[in-house]
Amino acid sequence: MNKIVEKLGIMVCGHGSRNQNAMKEFAKVAGGLKEKFPHLPVEYGYLEFCNPVISHGLDQLREQGVTKVLAVPGMLFAAGHAKNDIPSVLNTYQAQNPGMEIIYGRELGIDLKMIRAAGERVMEAMAAGDKEHGKVPPHETLLMVVGRGASDPDANSNVSKVMRMIWEGLGFGWGETCYSGVTFPLVEPGLEHAAKLGYRRIVVFPYFLFTGVLVKRIFSYTDDVAARHADIQFVKAPYLNDHPLVIETFADRVNEILDGQNLMNCQMCKYREQVLGFEDQVGLAQESHHHHVEGIGGGLEDCPCKGDCDASCREEAFCKEHGLPWTPVHTHDHHDHSDGHNHDHDQGHTHHPYPHADHPHGPVTMKK
């Protein structure tokens, strides 16, 4: 009787972006992971807005004879995408391909390597600010860390912890946290509050892996607030991107799967436990909300924005003018996401409403 030989492969699961440069950056990180595991095939895919989709990456692994997939979410923190959307896609694929086992790893999360990478990005920005505008001591500088923002308080609180560790590690005079969307405070009200605290310099650091609509919007809001406070020096720190320590953390997540240590923080998960203010979400069904937008975005690689997309390529008139394929963005009438895309609830799916969507410093203040 012939024994089936197990073959391992790695799958990096991303969210996706309308910004082609973001996708190039994601692919570069996947390439960096391949260098860490040269003996294993490595593929990647996205939930929405661009190609390849996750199922395509899994198809590529299957065609290479992979029987066991080590799947890692390309996410900083575990919120809805990492807890619901990606697992749903992976479970569906495995059900359709019983000869392939898929083991899911955990998000990058709170990790000392990630904190060190973030600290180095912030120090880059401070050095550039000193060179351009003159030296400002850390004690006279406020650090503003900007997170993605989610309807999951556990993920949001992790951004605050990252901020605190950078603040304390580098000795800033003060530290604050705000978010690009979904929760509160958003970037503009957060920076306006920070400007009132009397610091000579504010360092704005997007705690993001890659560029995209949100990072561009964060820096746009920074420019708006800076224009109203000419007496304060605003410095924009670069996002994490392919920092070597980021790639090392991804490799650690793969090794955790191999060691059987791939455990998310379920103690603080609103789907499992009674989280204050989110008690009605315990036990919600695990399902993907991105099936209807998988793969949209292909064919825009040669758009006039040269890959640094500001979402104009999702406007019908713009596409017609430039001879581009137009794919309407789904709508989201309760503003659960704030990256410029919305979910059309006629598509046959819903999101649980965020309980503080009407917060005065939150989603209702988003400027479209």
Here the tokens at position 253 are 């997540």
The burial of 328, by beta-carbon neighbours within 10 Å (0-12 exposed, 13-18 middle, 19 or more buried), is given as exposed
279: exposed, middle or buried (Cβ count in 10 Å: 0-12, 13-18, 19+): exposed
- Rg of the chain over Cα atoms, rounded to whole angstroms, equals 21
User: 314 exposed, middle or buried (CB, 10 Å; 0-12, 13-18, 19+)?
Assistant: buried
Nearest to 78 by CA among 211, 262, 228: 262
**Distance, CA of 362 to CA of 360 (rounded, Å):** 6
Gap between the Cα atoms of 233 and 145, Å rounded: 16
What are 180's two structure tokens? 């690009």
The phi-psi region of residue 326 (left if phi > 0; otherwise alpha if psi is between -120 and 50; otherwise beta) is: beta
**Does the annotation mark 15 as catalytic?**
yes
Mind telling me the catalytic residues? 15
